Amino acid sequence: RSLVRIASAAICTFAIGATSAFAADAVKLRISTPAVESDWHAKMLTVFKDELAKTAPGEFDVEIHLNASLFKQGTEPAAMQRGNLDMAMISAQDIAKQIPAWSVFTAGYLIRDPEHQKKVFNSDIGKKFYQMVADDMNIEILDVGYLGTRELNLANDKKITTPDDLKGVKLRMPGSDAWLFLGNALGADATPLAFGEVYTGLQTGTIDGQDNPLPTVKAVKFYEVTKQIVLTDHLVDAVFLSMAKNTYDDLSADQQKKVKDAAAVATAYNNKMRIEDEKSLIDFFKKEGLSIYAPDVAAFRTKVQNAYLESEFAKDWPEGIVEQINAVK
């Protein structure tokens, strides 16, 4: 009898041990982003986490760090490369710092709309460019998400119609060459500032304006400290939900599939919500007292496209890439 008792106690201990060992074995996925909680791409990370909890219960421990609380904006790729971070939503501008060919996706007025964006990255073009990131940066892109179409958002109400009207306007851009080039190409004086400092910068007047997609202007409440939105539509922007390749390569084939599937569910959610929001937000901003201007988009497009084609960036673009991107229908 006592032997049976000892045996069952041992089984019990083994069972408890097995359960806790399983939990400790869950793959920790720490994600860092500058996004604020109410923005769609932050919510998309919760969708990713919830989806994995459903499809691979107990296998992943997803930790989401918002507001750049873990890593500064733009330092996420290096953090993943050093093995300090598992996941992030990186930008083409981040990637272009290490892979110059990627600067083609930082060019204003190239990607036409969210559907074109999705098609381009799902095509052979996307495959080739994702492979460069895997090979040269040791980062696996899981999927592309639509960050929105960037518009100008200025603190004063001096009407902006053409690039000339932006002369001398201190336009905040995220801090990298590719971003600053875009701000200057629009006709403004581009000023680098981290995302988390933009609200105060607008409030105190250290900057005259910023550019972001409308859902972000709402989520961060930039409308409280600005007076106008200029619908330039200058960049159909993307975020690439990515994983350190070392983390990705350590997963089983089944886990890799589940991670990619969860990323697809998450980006689909983000894209749907963001596109819906972009349609309805103009009224919201009008009610908040902002002027909404429809500028001479053709004038902005011509100036910006010429600036890119004549730029140093374009020298690093693969032969014929602009035509190939334009041809994706």
- For ligand KDO, the binding residues (CB under 6 A) are 33-35, 39, 41, 73, 91, 174, 195, 212, 216
Min separation Cβ 136 and ligand KDO, Å? 20
Coil, strand or helix at 306: helix
Distance in Å, CB of 175 to ligand KDO, minimum: 9
Nearer to ligand KDO, 56 or 238 (CB): 238
What CA–CA distances, in Å, run from 144 to 181, 229, 266, 285, 287? Answer: 23, 26, 10, 28, 33
Nearer to ligand KDO, 2 or 204 (CB): 204
Q: Which of 83, 109, 81 is nearest to 95 (CA)?
A: 81
Based on CB atoms, which residue is closest to ligand KDO, 68 or 307? 68
- Based on CB atoms, which residue is closest to ligand KDO, 216 or 247? 216
- What string of H, E and C letters represents the secondary structure of 131-150? HHHHHHHCEEEEEEEEEEEE
If the CB atoms of residues 163 and 209 are measured against ligand KDO, the closer one turns out to be: 209
Instruction: Give the whole-angstrom CA distance, residue 42 versus residue 140.
Output: 20
- Alpha helix segments (H runs only) across the chain: 2-25, 40-55, 76-81, 92-96, 114-122, 124-137, 177-185, 198-204, 214-219, 245-249, 253-287, 297-309, 312-315, 321-327
Three-class SS of residue 31?
strand
Shortest spacing between CB 82 and ligand KDO, in angstroms: 19
**Whole-angstrom distance, CA of residue 172 vs CA of residue 201:** 9
Min separation Cβ 39 and ligand KDO, Å: 6
Place of tokens 């992943």: 60
- Closest contact distance (angstroms) between CB of 34 and ligand KDO is 4
Helix, strand or coil, per DSSP, at residue 257 = helix
Nearer to ligand KDO, 192 or 255 (CB): 192
Q: How far is the CB of 130 from ligand KDO (least distance, A)?
A: 17
**Which one, 150 or 303, has the nearer CB to ligand KDO?**
150
CA distances from 113 to 120, 150, 233 (A): 11, 11, 10
Give me the least distance between CB of 208 and ligand KDO, in Å please: 15
